[in-house]
A and B are shown apart, each in its own frame.
Chain A
């Protein structure tokens, strides 16, 4: 469903900086891949390119056969809205919205009817273990709970691709484990493909496949080969 071929990205400026060079990646539906890499190697940029938020300098990114990098901004936005979900390191749950409203945002954007929205939000919250907490405000929640809200928001509109960026960076290891398991379970349950970007091997191991992002490209992780 997602194919990257020879994708390169260079940031212009005085000290022009090549972040990604010659990235090739193929992701099948329902597949869950972890991408590891050192800080600054371009993991986040890779996610932005896949999400259509940035454009590659070279190469192509096909999402369900559609060239994302060729889409105008509005079309890319619509694509994201419909087919993608996001989980961030810093949660990015809107503080002034209740938990339910945060989760409901993608449904609202996709024009889902009110009743169905309520049902799906409730289902989403239940799925992440926050049933009945919909009216809570984010500031009443712990970090782990906030990330659960974020996960619920990422899957509530049933995207076909989940982009997860260092989801446990702000969490303690115990909570992190629970969140990672939850993520994997939700991915499997929804049948969506997922890309987990992390620098933690432990986190990466929750994915089916582990790739390593280096300045020269994307390589299979040795460890994962051994495990397979």
Chain B
């Protein structure tokens, strides 16, 4: 589960965590996920995102991290406005490449109101786009990502190799002590990636492994939350590990959760156990001054490893679109110096706390 966009969207929507408008449907347990319907958008909910992260091999030996995110927001305004331009549904997208030879992220973003077929988040199956940025799921399962930025163009196919992984209780994912503080959430780990990445007009063929999160909710964070740490790791043995920790202002955990699906599809006995995500090393951004725990120690239910970033500077400054600054980076899980798997870590709420 991937809380990265929350902070952004909540700030954008000017919401407090507990404030749910009456006409947004609540997130309740006992709603089974149904596919392909739930691959598509859920426009009646306040927020929703499709979040793809992964590691790419360019053939040159240097790995490349990538992140492509589409956010959908239903702001609490323009109700009953008859215009086709009424801002009932807003769409945002971020794309970032993490190249250690560059030393920082290559990042672009898009934002638009839904409408006129120019920017839409379709229901029924995954089909979300803003102009020439799109994420679409084919009928037989593979996703196609197309990003046409100024400095980079990304065109990737992502083929599922494992079944959908519902998070929490069959897709009902608690985020806090209160029953309403939850989201619907499923993941697609171990997506097999192939395609091209072009930078400065140079196109490279790439292959790799990715992780997709799809999550939608109305109000999920506890009100005293300031941010979260999240990881999604494709384990080398075919397992998939997701963990998060909701933090309060003092850095204490308000809520934690972890899930570990083994390669054979069975769930490891990790759910419901306390999760440790402890900083090993900090990095201070020279641009924003924010201090991020870019290397962390993870431990839950007998599983433990260190998270080492692909590069320290994977800070993403999205103040010009969603108004947020966070760290979103490719990480390797190491145990005793031996790699266990690779994935992404997200650190939010380190620049400014929630509710700015």
Contact between chain A and chain B defined by CB under 8 Å: no
